[in-house]
């Protein structure tokens, strides 16, 4: 097996394609080629396909079959011409004869011959003669080629070129040889894809005539519009009067209706390579065609289309959402057809459709699926725990609705929901839409998973020419992989590959296939290997785990390095200041440091000093390009994947103690309450005197002084540093209090910390707790970011890179408020400050903690943006901080966005009229940084989940008893309830009919089950009970059967879920406490943590 590697360097293609024209044969080339002339290579998904074969990964791939039908034709390999060095780029990659550019039939595997060409010319002449009779025009001369006008209609025919010499015998011999090769199964492909991906060279007139006829699909000949207007054209010019039925409708409703009407400029002249259907093909189009780039751009400008990043529901792949900056609510996308081949994190263009129609379709399919599930003995997945609790930040893909987990591969369009019918109106989105184009897609994205011989749910079909790739991420569809791309011995024994993990890259997704095509990139390893699991996490999240290129490393300064003398002249010298850093104990990349000096009149000078990364990473260098591509450092449990080479992030840029370092500083004059009197920005030189850990600073705050092991360069400074820490802490307390009084919101999620042994195995796990030392640093970093945001936004109002946090998802926040109200707690969400005040008013710490976890779900993720994107400054708001503008300035070693902000600040301080970046560039940087930051966050969470699985598995191996923990019910539905294991921050969903019970009842805020008192719920019995209880209906009750008030837990204000031994009944209600058992499987992909309810009536549980 080949070894797995993620070190392959991304190929950055910056060439441009010459415009494709046929000047010798046509007055104007086909519109679909002219529209994409000279694309710039980058992330643009639409443009990246229209490139010469040697630059296009689609064209360069080995031919792949189309799904569901084994094509019998193939394109012969393209032989490099002997004189290729002297050929033009548009000619160098062309086939040597005409046969490869003709769309082949599914049924007739023949190459082009002189005889067949003559028959087709005769049919063409007959068609042209018929058209001439209808339009009163003479038939074209032999060999003449119709051109396509800019509006997509047929233009007058150009004069034929001089006749070509007759076909030679050698040409016939090549045709015969090519025909034989075409019939070989080893070279099957779709000629139309090659046609769309490759530029065309000059060919014989008769061949090109057939080519054009194929492309325009024999559309009726058009009259000569240069002489007279046709009746249809005149009708189209008439002014349309508003219809009576449109009166009283809103502009949005009228726009949706207008969008239903076909637009000529959308359908003519452009075809995306994935939208090519071979003439004579028997498969129908499963998706809508992508619109032309100029149509998409026009729609975005006039407001008929909306753009945003696509998010797919992790539990139900039929539900996806697009957040557009132009709308206050997410756009809901239902099903795979309306998603139109878009993938998670794609930047897509969406057209709005009628919400009621889409929602009715969704409910109907949910009902239909529920009926089929009941009749086919298919129940939802029970108790798979999500990774450690993290803020989902309003990601609508992480639904709080009790949606069933179904096999997304077998039931693509049949999703179900447990949400009660009475709440359907609450679930209905504000907007619905469908994807009409893909603007950008993450480069070099790979997916990990396993290979299957047959598609899941279907019988054995050994005749199919490709195998199936089942991704680990359920948001990704099945992928068809040609047998030639599969392991050589896979067909001999597919079952032996069941434990092998492969990485696959998507190649294309034709419009007429349900699933995309891909190719195997590498063999990752075996399921159950921790290092393999970690490699999968990195690949699935598009994290580059590789060294830096030689070109990037050549940009680094030579070592040993010293600060150049001219920097001492141009920078403020702060080497004599008592500057120190406070970071995690294991930190190596020290971004920030502080100093404080007491002034007269109860005032202080406080400085925040940030590593001057922009001095070493110059604009538009290879090092800058690689840092931008990575965009952020990724922090895994066992290691860090840096954004910059270690020479910079751990040495030259890191503010290590007792060495002189370049810094970018923000220095304030403050009063004794932390109010800012004056601000100074500038480049400095500092020399840190101490590298302190958070625990060191906390010892000082707690009154114990710095510990002896604290890293202080001069022990005589210990007393002074302690006073500085206490002065900074006092100011930070005032600043924090004032910030929350002004409406800030604190929403911290559960974060796990690990202790590893020498072999990298976790031996200790705990929930990380923020201390006052953390909050001290937090306050001054927040203030520095705000100050810099104000400066760059004031200087460059159109190009500033800021960070915004939108208001919570309205529907989800309403659900949360309703849940809290039913439990007797009033939540005011009119502002972030009122929400914080609502939490502060709750007397119980436990209840407050649970409500905060529930309130995280409606929150959106903060994101970078360019100020020129919005016309209204109100859109800059950071909701959680409740400040009008905010940015990231304080961590340039690990965030590329901070490097960009440093450059903007430098330009502002130099009073430059231009910052060096335009709005479009800054928007592109913001989008890429958002992608990468989210990917790094997901990878960090998954790494934490992996190591927690390892820890629990190791813990279970040391004891013969099940791992039993306390859990808290978060929310309850009709058939299931969500719970939290606070000790590890684990959330899970438990279905009542997956438990060993006789029956279950439900009502407002509760589910009650009647246990089979001698039965156990665990991984061995779960499938049995799901099958046994598949037809068990829940019985609705108006009130709960048991009372929980008398069984309050002694150690907490939360109530214990009550149970009655006489009836075997246990009742689950929101905020109820219960016992659960945990089982871990390291032999699954990914590793899973399953949570089961402990039967309270078993002797061991009493």
738-748 pLDDT per residue, tens: 999 999 999 88
Distance of alpha carbon 847 from alpha carbon 1072, whole angstroms: 10
Residue ranges and CATH numbers for the domains of the chain are: 31-233 (no CATH), 284-441 (2.40.50.690), 443-540 (2.40.50.700), 550-737+771-797+887-936 (no CATH), 959-1101 (2.40.50.140)
* Rounded Cα gap, residues 166 and 921, in angstroms: 54
- CB atoms inside a 10 Å sphere around CB 565: 7
For the ranges 430-439, 689-698, 1081-1090, the lowest mean pLDDT is seen at: 1081-1090
State yes or no: cis peptide before 1086, omega within 30 of 0.
yes
Q: Of the segments 407-421, 458-472, 536-550, which one has the largest average pLDDT value?
A: 536-550
CB 632 within 8 A of CB 894: yes
Phi then psi for residue 552, to 5 deg, are -70, -45
> Is 1083 labelled a binding residue?
no
Separation between Cα atoms, residue 922 and residue 628, nearest integer Å: 12
Residues near 870 by Cβ (< 8 Å), separated by ≥ 6? 325, 876
- Write the pLDDT tens digit of every residue in 647-677: 999 999 999 999 999 999 999 999 999 999 9
Confidence of residue 60 (pLDDT cuts 50, 70, 90): very low
Is-contact 472 1086, C-beta < 8 A? yes
pLDDT tens for 1021-1079 read 999 999 999 888 899 999 999 886 544 444 567 889 999 999 999 999 999 999 999 99
In terms of C-beta density within 10 A (0-12 exposed, 13-18 middle, 19 or more buried), how is residue 259 classed? middle
Q: What is the pLDDT of residues 630-643, one digit of tens each?
A: 999 999 999 999 99
Q: What percent of the chain has pLDDT over 70?
A: 69
Q: Long-range contacts for 83-86 (Cβ within 8 Å, ≥24 apart)?
A: none
**Does residue 574 surpass a pLDDT of 70?**
yes
DSSP per-residue letters across 773-818? HHHHHHHHHHHHHHHHHHHHHHH-TTT-EEEEBPPPPHHHHHHHHH
pLDDT tens for residues 219-248? 334 334 333 334 444 444 344 444 444 545
Q: What is d(CA 536, CA 580) in angstroms, rounded to the nearest whole number?
A: 39
Given this model, what pLDDT does residue 823 score? 85
- Residue 249 tokens read as 């409708």
The answer on whether 845 is annotated among ligand-binding residues is no
Q: What are phi and psi of 205, to 5 degrees?
A: -60, -40
Please name every residue paired with 1060 in a beta bridge, in sequence order, or none if there are none: 1065
State the pLDDT at residue 457.
72
Distance CA 905, CA 915 (A): 9
The pLDDT assigned to 93 comes to: 35
| Sheet (strand 976-981) strand order | 986-991, 976-981, 963-972, 1073-1081, 1088-1093
Most confidently modeled range among 10-14, 85-89, 609-613: 609-613
Average per-residue pLDDT for the chain: 77
Question: Looking at residues 133-143, what average pLDDT do you find?
Answer: 41
Here the tokens at position 155 are 């233009």
Contacts of 326 (CB under 8 A, 6+ apart): 303, 306
154 has pLDDT over 60: no
Q: What is the pLDDT of residue 123?
A: 54
The confidence band for 179, taking pLDDT boundaries of 50, 70 and 90, is: low
pLDDT band at 40 (very low <50, low <70, confident <90, very high): very low
Give 835 or 186, the one with higher predicted confidence: 835
The pLDDT value given to residue 1100: 60
Q: pLDDT by residue (tens digit) across 445-498?
A: 999 999 999 888 776 767 778 899 999 999 999 999 998 888 888 888 888 999
pLDDT at 120: 52
Tokens for 866? 């360019």
| Contacts of the segment 701-705: beta carbons below 8 A, 24+ positions apart | 701/725, 701/726, 701/729, 701/772, 701/773, 701/776
pLDDT at 694: 97
- What is each CA distance from 1037 to 936, 1005, 1070, in whole angstroms? 46, 11, 16
The pLDDT tens digits for 348-390 are 999 999 999 999 999 888 888 777 665 554 444 433 333 333 3
């Amino acid at each position: 097996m080949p070894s797995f590697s993620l070190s392959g360097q991304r190929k950055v293609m910056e060439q441009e394609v010459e415009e494709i024209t046929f000047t010798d044969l046509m007055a104007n080339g086909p519109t679909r080629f002219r529209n994409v002339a000279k694309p710039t290579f980058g992330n643009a998904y639409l443009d990246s396909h229209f490139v010469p074969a040697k630059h296009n990964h689609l064209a360069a791939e080995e031919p792949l079959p189309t799904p569901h039908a084994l094509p019998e034709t193939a394109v012969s390999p393209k032989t490099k011409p002997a004189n290729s060095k002297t050929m033009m780029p548009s000619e160098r990659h062309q086939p040597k004869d005409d046969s490869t550019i003709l769309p082949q039939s599914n049924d007739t595997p023949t190459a082009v011959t002189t005889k067949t060409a003559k028959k087709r010319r005769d049919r063409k002449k007959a068609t042209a003669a018929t058209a001439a009779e209808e339009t009163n025009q003479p038939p074209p001369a032999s060999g003449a080629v119709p051109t396509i006008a800019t509006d997509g209609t047929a233009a007058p025919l150009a004069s034929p070129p001089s006749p070509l010499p007759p076909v030679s015998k050698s040409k016939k011999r090549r045709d015969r040889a090519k025909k034989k090769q075409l019939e070989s199964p080893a070279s099957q492909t779709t000629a139309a894809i090659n046609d769309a991906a490759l530029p065309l060279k000059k060919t014989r007139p008769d061949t090109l005539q057939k080519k054009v006829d194929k492309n325009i699909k024999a559309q009726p000949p058009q009259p000569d519009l240069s002489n007279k207007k046709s009746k249809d054209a005149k009708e189209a010019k008439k002014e349309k009067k508003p219809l009576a039925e449109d009166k009283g409708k809103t502009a949005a409703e009228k726009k949706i209706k207008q969008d239903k009407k076909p637009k000529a400029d959308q359908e003519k002249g452009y075809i995306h390579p994935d939208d090519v259907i071979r003439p004579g093909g028997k498969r129908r189009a499963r998706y809508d065609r992508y619109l032309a780039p100029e149509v998409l751009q026009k729609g975005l400008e006039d407001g008929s289309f909306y753009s945003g990043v696509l998010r797919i529901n992790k539990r139900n792949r039929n539900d996806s959402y697009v957040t557009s900056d132009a709308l206050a609510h997410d756009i809901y996308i239902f099903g795979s057809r309306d998603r139109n081949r878009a993938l998670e994190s794609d930047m897509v263009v969406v057209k709005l459709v009628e919400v009621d129609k889409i929602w009715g379709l969704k409910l109907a399919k949910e009902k239909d699926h529920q009926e089929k599930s009941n009749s086919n003995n298919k129940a939802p997945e029970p108790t798979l725990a999500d990774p450690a609790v993290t803020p989902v930040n309003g990601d609508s893909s992480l639904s709080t609705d009790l949606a069933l987990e179904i096999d997304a591969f077998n039931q693509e369009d049949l999703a179900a929901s447990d949400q009660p019918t009475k709440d359907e109106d609450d679930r209905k989105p504000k907007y619905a839409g469908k994807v009409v184009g893909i603007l950008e897609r993450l480069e070099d994205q790979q997916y990990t998973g396993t290979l299957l011989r047959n598609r899941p749910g279907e019988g054995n079909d050994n005749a199919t020419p490709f195998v199936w790739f089942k991704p680990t991420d359920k948001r990704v569809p099945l992928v068809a992989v040609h047998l030639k791309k599969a392991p050589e011995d896979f067909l001999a024994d597919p079952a032996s590959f069941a434990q092998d993990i492969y990485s696959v890259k998507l190649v294309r997704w034709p419009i007429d296939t349900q699933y995309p095509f891909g190719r195997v990139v590498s063999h990752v390893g075996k399921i159950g290997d921790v290092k393999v699991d970690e490699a999968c996490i990195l690949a699935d999240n598009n994290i580059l785990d590789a060294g830096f290129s030689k070109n990037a490393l050549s940009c680094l300064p030579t070592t040993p390095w010293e600060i150049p003398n001219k920097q001492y002249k141009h920078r403020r010298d702060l080497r004599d200041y008592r500057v120190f850093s406070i970071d995690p104990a294991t930190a190596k990349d020290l971004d920030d440091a502080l100093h404080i000096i007491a002034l007269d009149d109860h005032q202080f000078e406080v400085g925040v000093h940030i590593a001057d990364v922009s001095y070493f990473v110059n604009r538009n260098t290879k090092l800058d390009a690689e840092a931008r591509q990575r965009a952020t450092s990724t922090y895994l449990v066992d290691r860090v994947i840096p954004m910059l080479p270690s020479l910079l992030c751990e040495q030259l840029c890191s503010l290590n103690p007792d060495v002189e370092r370049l810094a970018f500083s923000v220095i304030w004059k403050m009063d004794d309450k932390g109010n800012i009197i004056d601000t100074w920005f500038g480049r400095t030189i500092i020399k840190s005197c101490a590298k302190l850990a958070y625990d060191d600073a906390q010892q000082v705050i707690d009154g114990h002084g710095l510990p002896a092991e604290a890293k202080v360069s001069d022990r005589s400074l210990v007393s002074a540093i302690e006073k500085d820490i206490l002065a900074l802490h006092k100011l930070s307390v005032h600043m924090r209090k004032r910030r929350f009084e002004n409406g800030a919101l604190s929403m911290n999620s559960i974060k796990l910390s690990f202790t590893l042994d020498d072999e990298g195995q976790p031996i200790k796990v705990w929930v990380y707790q923020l201390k006052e030392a953390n909050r001290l640093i937090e306050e001054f970093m927040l203030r520095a970011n705000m100050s810099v945001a104000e400066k760059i936004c004031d200087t460059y109002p159109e190009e500033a890179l800021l960070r915004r946090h939108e208001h919570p998802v309205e529907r989800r926040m309403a659900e949360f408020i309703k849940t809290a109200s039913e439990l007797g707690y009033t939540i005011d969400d009119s502002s972030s400050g009122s929400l914080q005040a609502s939490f502060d008013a709750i007397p119980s710490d436990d209840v407050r903690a649970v409500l905060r976890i529930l309130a995280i779900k409606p929150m959106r993720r903060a994101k970078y943006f360019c100020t020129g994107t919005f016309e209204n400054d109100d859109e800059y708001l950071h909701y959680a901080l409740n400040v009008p503008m905010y940015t990231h300035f304080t961590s340039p070693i690990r965030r590329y966005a901070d490097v960009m902000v440093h450059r903007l600040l430098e330009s502002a301080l130099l009073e430059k009229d231009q910052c060096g970046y335009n709005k479009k560039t800054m928007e592109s940087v913001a989008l890429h940084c958002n992608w990468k930051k989210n990917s790094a966050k997901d990878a960090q969470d998954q790494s934490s989940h992996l190591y927690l699985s390892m820890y629990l598995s190791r813990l279970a191996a040391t004891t013969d008893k099940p791992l039993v923990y306390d859990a808290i019910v978060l929310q309850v539905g009709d058939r299931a309830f969500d719970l939290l294991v606070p000790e590890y921050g684990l959330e899970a969903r438990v279905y009542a009919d997956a438990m060993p019970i006789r029956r279950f009842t439900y009502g407002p805020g509760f589910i009650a089950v009647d246990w089979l008192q001698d039965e156990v719920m665990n991984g061995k019995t779960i499938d049995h009970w799901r099958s046994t209880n598949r037809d068990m209906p829940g019985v609705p009750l108006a009130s709960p059967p048991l009372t929980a008030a008398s069984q309050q837990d002694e150690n907490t204000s939360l109530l214990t879920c009550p149970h009655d031994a006489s009836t075997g009944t246990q009742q689950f209600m929101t905020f109820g406490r219960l016992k659960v058992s945990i089982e871990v499987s390291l032999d699954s992909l990914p590793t899973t943590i399953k949570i089961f309810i402990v039967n309270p009536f078993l002797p061991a549980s009493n």
